[in-house]
Structure 1
Amino acid sequence: MSHAHYYVKEEVRNARNRRRFRQLAREVCGEVFDIPEDNRVLFAYQKHHGKETLIGEISFQIADEKLTSPGITFDSEYFHQVTFMFVKYDFQGMGIGQRLFSKLMKIIGEKSVRPIRLQSAEKAVGFFEKMQFVCQGEPIESLCGVNLFRFMYNMERPSGYLTCDSTNDL
């Protein structure tokens, strides 16, 4: 009996990977999102019977170390930012998001000890709370887009949490 193998790796932001990112985003949430400029991307894969399948993704921006003050906006470049994270429905609850996040933490931990910020859909708040994120203020209601993003939550992971020990199998 053959078992599936899961792994996460960083990919370059090129036309092919941007297309793959948009396809997975649309499959998961019904909307097309692209990897923002100046962002890095991690893809999660399942390898089963020699076939590699994209099952998750996360895009992020490393904090700008030249900035000495966070300023007043929540999405200031002073902070590390998670811009998008998607995991195929059939793979949610299997630790794929934790694997993506663990790899992200490894990369960020090598760069800086600044906090990480993101805006989370209501459905994903519990996941990010498990990753030590804390809601900042009240949810923001959005009047456009799909219902999944009707309420967005500003969340921050304090800089004291540099590792994520939820999985060691990257």
Structure 2
Amino acid sequence: MGALGFGMVLAVLVFWAVGAHNRLVRLRGEVVRQWSSVDAVWLRLLVRLQGGLAARQVLASDGETQDLQQIQTICDDLLEALTQARLQPLDEDSQKQVVSQHLKLVAAIRLMQQTVQESIRPDLDIALNRMRQTLPAALIPYHVAVLAYNEALSMRPASWLGKRLKFKPAIRMDLSLSAS
């Protein structure tokens, strides 16, 4: 009778572990899927911005051309950070690098708005407004997925299993500084 009881307990533990593992993997996959949506939005914004900057460089003066090239360089750096985050979507350092490069781009655009001709300012305003309007909306499903995954990862006894499988919590991207 003792062996039967032990076998039942062992079976329950195995089924629980498989179920918990599958749930964590599914939620983790959802975070990655939602990140790919955010990545796609960011890429569209950057392609539009870079296209507009390239067109403006033809019409700009020498000083403005240097400013536009600086923003192009920052866009390239953000694209590189997005590439790294695409390769490792749950890596905290990759995500922080994306946020850092995004904030750097927003700051450079704001600085340039103060120094450029009136003809270029509306384009920069449009770029910032697109970022303000589309990125937060794209981040909502990502943040919901991150919250669900992190909650599942923190629950006991799934937290024990998550540690054994080296599952790390996903980070929430805070772009609140760029929305002002």
Query: Larger % of strand: which?
Result: 1
Note whether the superposition's TM-score is higher than 0.5: no
Q: RCO higher in 1 or 2 (8 Å CA, sep ≥ 6)?
A: 2
Question: Which structure is larger by alpha-carbon Rg, 1 or 2?
Answer: 2
Q: How high is the TM-score relative to the length of structure 2?
A: 0.29
